[in-house]
Structure 1
Amino acid sequence: MMPLKRRLAAMHAARPLCVWASITGGASALAGGVMIAAMQAGTPFAAFAASTLALLAMALIPGTLARGFATRATVPIASALVLTMAAMGAGAHTGETFAQTPLILGGVVLLAIACMHLRRTRDSAARSVHTHTIAPAWRNDMLLIAPALLAGLSSGVLARFQFFALCGGAAISVTQVVTSLAAVSLAGWLADRVDYRRALLVLFVLRGALLVALTFDCLAPWAALAAPAFAVLDYLTLPMLMRGGRASRAPGAGCPGLAHHAGMLAGAALAATSWGFGQGFYALFLIGGTLNLACAYAFSTPRRFRTRAPYPASAALAAGNAIDLR
């Protein structure tokens, strides 16, 4: 028989996996069911439902999974977003083929089970550990929210390619989903093993370089890959920003999803205008690429704002005396 310690270790390791499966499965089923119902109601309602579902997914999934995975949560968050968005796209192209009610009910049940498990875990941790926190400076919040807003803005300017992928393109294939999962798994595994500032530096350099590259006519045949590539970058950027928020003790560590989606809506609204689709196309993409490179430069420089220590050093500590704080 397996020793008791090994069984307990296996159960402890399986709990985060079960939470991930419940959240991802519930969110995917709910997103697919809602999009099927929205497509039956009409195109305008489907567009509103897609925007709302994307907002909820980017705002709630990263923060929820971050509670279940205290460290190295990039791969679970990014893979959950990949599968949820894929289910939403599949539901949009399915139409009336499948019934939406079982998917919606199953998604709600799975999400409720995951939330109850996370609540019990949080309550037990609060009873066993008593922590003291202090509100950091407002600059930490800006260092967290501003890059998320910029990342969403740079993704939103891809409106012409996103509209084609959603409205004129075919349904997302299994190969595309597997490729996205493999990309976020490998990149997330690597990103979790380096400093978050270096990971964000690479991500924003890639975002800026891709935006600038889309202005070259010689790369026009590859423009159809712009939306999937930026989707993968979005799925990796959000957990990295949340990791930076936890490292700097920013209270807004759960807000990157909201800021990202707000920036995406603003960028899409600007890119969808006659100026954005016409003569402003090159200027819009060049400015977006420049801003992303500027953000990458900010992550490459040493941190100017340091968080305050929860307990200031006392004269006794300076003198070398040992004090046990309980």
Structure 2
Amino acid sequence: MSTASSRTPLSLLDREEISRGLAEGLEQKEIAERIGRSPSVVSREIRRHGGRERYRAAHANSHAAMARRRPKVRKLDRLPGLRREVLARLGRGHSPDQIAGRLRREHGHRDPDRVISHEAVYTWIYALPTGELARHGVRLRSGRTTRRPRGRAGTPGARIVGMRSIDERPAEAAGRAVPGHWEGDLIIGRNGQTALGTLVERTSRFFLPVPLLAGKNAGAVCDALIETVTGVPEILRKSLTWDRGSEMAQHQRLSLATDLAVYFAHPHSPWERGTNENTNRLLREYFPKSTDIAGDPAYLKCVAEELNARPRRILAYRTPAEVFTELLTSSVASTD
């Protein structure tokens, strides 16, 4: 039998043949040959409509006809419970991708009415009237109402005495299998008057804020880093990679005080600290450019807790806090 185009919708007769084949215990490939379709078409059809045990031709045909209707009602308009869940997570600063991934992780395929794709979230948001999302009390983390390309430029570096290049960093630090390797930088407030130090662990993406209450000169930054780093368990204190800013001129004092090796990225190479760059971009949601950066440690702790509670696609939609805790537990257990 000649194979029909994969774009041609399955007919009721096709679906009845699939149902009979399943009842006979045929493999999907055999059913596909019987109706002249590719095995992938048959596989998707069975999966969408109940699986091998619950597939019924009439129900599948009716459901497929409804799905082809235009205009389609968006899932978030059709399911108020799912809409409330998505809006709540948007309000906590989660991106559509993080929301979609976390819902899949929490509910899997058990309840299709409790999962949604990130594209469906975006299209629903962009279809809303201007200001409607704000009336729900939430906004996209980017602040955009339409998609647009974006770019980011690197920042110039500075010469530092006794620096060790990223090229000298241990091979294990280049990957992410071994925890305890950190990246760091500063984000600067309005007119350069305020700043915040940022540390992020490469494996877990766990973020630590470094309050700079005494300023952002080399001595103040070193003192603040020593105070923050000494709070990290020694087993997760292996290396720190920074850019070539002059605020790290006292890196040798930092290493002596914390036993943390400091390495420096190449000039104009922010991708060598990509995890930290991404974290700093997220922090700009809390501290927009041309605004002062709050130095209150309690507030910074709250910001860190929010960021560390966001599910990340790179972590299979676990949160940095979950992964960091797992790493700490397993590292301590391996030394016992």
Q: Structures share a fold, TM > 0.5?
A: no
> In terms of Rg, which structure is larger?
2
Q: Which one scores higher on RCO, CA 8 angstroms, separation ≥ 6? A: 1
* Larger relative helix fraction: 1
Q: With structure 2 as the length reference, what TM-score do the two structures score? A: 0.22
